[in-house]
Amino acid sequence: MTHSHQAQQLIDAARNRTATTALTDKEPHLDIAVAYDIQAEVVQARIDSGHVIVGAKLGLTSVAKQKQMNVSEPLYGWLTSDMQIDTGAQLACDTFIQPRCEPEIAFLLGSDLHGSHISAAHVLAATQFVFAAVDVLDSRFAGYSFTLPDVAADNSSSAGFSLGGTAIDPESVDLRTLGCVFEKNGQLVATASGAAVLGHPAASVAWLVRKLASRGEGLKAGHIVLSGAMTEAVAVQPGDCITARFDQLGTVEISCV
- Binding stretches for other proteins (CB under 8 A): 63, 174, 176-181, 188, 191-196, 199, 230, 245-247
Say how far apart CA 256 and CA 113 lie, in whole Å.
34
From 88, 106, 139, select the one nearest 208 (Cα to Cα).
Answer: 106
The H or E element spanning position 58 is: strand 53-59
> Least distance (Å) from other proteins to the CB of residue 244?
11
Nearest approach in angstroms of CB 63 to other proteins is 7
User: In the complex with other proteins, which residue's Cβ is closer, 23 or 134?
Assistant: 134
Q: How far is the CB of 98 from other proteins (least distance, A)?
A: 25
Closer to other proteins by Cβ: residue 142 or 241: 241
Rounded distance between C-alpha atoms, residue 119 and residue 101, angstroms = 28
Q: How far apart are CA 23 and CA 3, in angstroms?
A: 10
CB 232 within 8 Å of CB 177:
no
Cβ nearer to other proteins, comparing 156 with 243: 243
State the Cα–Cα distance between residues 100 and 105, nearest whole angstrom.
17
- How far apart are CB 78 and other proteins at their closest, in Å? 27
Tell me whether residue 154 or residue 183 sits nearer to other proteins (CB atom). Answer: 183
Residue 28 has phi, psi (to 5 degrees) of -60, -25
* Least distance between other proteins and beta carbon 74 (Å): 15
Q: Which is nearer to other proteins, 106 or 192 (CB)?
A: 192
